[in-house]
């Protein structure tokens, strides 16, 4: 993958752990300056140190709750103005509040939509101006196989991730002539805090429907994101790249 000069600037949300941390490390390895966004400042600092250790890479942290619209807008604007550019936006922050539909509360629904969908809309909207000024942009939104095929107990989560696909494709069509691409990476079961808490029976059921018979690793999602963020991915837009061990192949 080609590197560029001057250095491209990337924002990764949900970069304090799990998949987002791996994405941040991977983009830094490509020579990007990566701005790490999440709520836990100490964990962001530790990922930033890892980037310095592993890649001698440049990163900075910007603690922010992405469900707070004004704070998120300010974070994106501040990064763009401090660096004079914003090239790559990875919306990875995500939560689940699983419950069967019959029992799911409005709060459980709204909370998931606020982080997984509305924050993505807000971050994209704010990032577009600096990307248009730079006449180049890569937006990668982290979805889920739940958004493709649904999942019992995840009406809120699946709706947010399915919504993300419609948002991303609309954005891809609006921005194509501005040289800004927008794509979704849809992971299957990946080993992180989010899946660690699932009951063993659920994990076993997931393995049974995964042809590769193992959970994925964060860096395997990061590799897909790094490709879509690269200069060489310039002819790929509006796509959903599923990385799920074959779970949803058609």
Strand, helix or coil at 56?
A: coil
Instruction: Tell the burial category of 192 from Cβ atoms under 10 Å away from its Cβ (0-12, 13-18, 19+).
Output: buried
Catalytic positions: 157
**What does the alpha-carbon distance between residue 73 and residue 80 come to, in Å, rounded to a whole number?**
11
40 binds ligand NAP (CB under 6 A): yes
Among 38, 51, 112, 165, binds ligand NAP (CB under 6 A): 38
Q: Map residues 64-83 to x or -, x wherever contact with ligand NAP holds by CB under 6 A.
A: -xxx----------------
Q: Does 20 bind ligand NAP (CB under 6 A)?
A: yes
Site stretch for ligand NAP (CB under 6 A), options 54-62, 86-94, 132-140, 230-238: 86-94
Residue 150: which of 139, 169, 140, 163 has the closest Cα? Answer: 163
The rounded radius of gyration (Å) of the Cα atoms in the chain is 17
Size (the chain), residues: 250
Question: Sign of the C-alpha dihedral, residues 102, 106, 107, 110?
Answer: positive
Taking contact as CB under 6 A, which single stretch among the options 124-132, 172-180, 182-190, 233-241 is the one that binds ligand NAP? 182-190
- Scanning 37-45, 101-109, 169-177, 234-242 for contacts with ligand NAP by CB under 6 A, the matching segment is 37-45
Query: Of 124-163, which residues contact ligand NAP (CB under 6 A)?
Result: 142, 144
Among 7, 31, 43, 69, binds ligand NAP (CB under 6 A): 43
């Amino acid at each position: 993958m080609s590197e560029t000069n001057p250095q491209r600037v990337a924002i990764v949300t949900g970069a304090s752990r799990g998949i987002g941390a791996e994405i941040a490390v991977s983009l830094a390895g490509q020579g990007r300056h990566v701005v790490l966004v999440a709520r836990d400042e100490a964990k962001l600092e530790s990922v930033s140190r890892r980037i310095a250790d592993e890649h001698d890479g440049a990163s900075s942290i910007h603690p922010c709750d992405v469900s707070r619209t004004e704070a998120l807008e300010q974070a994106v604007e501040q990064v763009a103005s401090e660096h004079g550019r914003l090239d790559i936006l990875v919306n990875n922050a995500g939560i689940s509040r699983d419950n069967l539909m019959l029992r799911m509360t409005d709060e459980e629904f709204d909370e998931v939509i606020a982080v997984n969908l509305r924050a993505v809309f807000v971050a994209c909207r704010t990032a577009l101006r600096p990307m248009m000024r730079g006449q180049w942009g890569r937006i990668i939104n982290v979805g889920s196989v739940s958004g493709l095929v649904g999942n019992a107990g995840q009406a809120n989560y699946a709706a947010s991730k399915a919504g993300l696909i419609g948002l991303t494709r609309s954005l891809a069509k609006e921005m194509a002539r501005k040289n800004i691409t927008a794509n979704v990476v849809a992971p299957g079961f990946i080993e992180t805090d989010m899946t660690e808490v699932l009951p063993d029976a659920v994990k076993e059921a997931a393995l049974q429907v995964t042809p590769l018979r193992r959970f994925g690793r964060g860096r395997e999602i990061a590799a897909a994101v790094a490709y879509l963020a690269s200069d060489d991915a310039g002819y790929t837009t509006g796509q959903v790249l599923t990385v799920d061990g074959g779970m949803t192949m058609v």
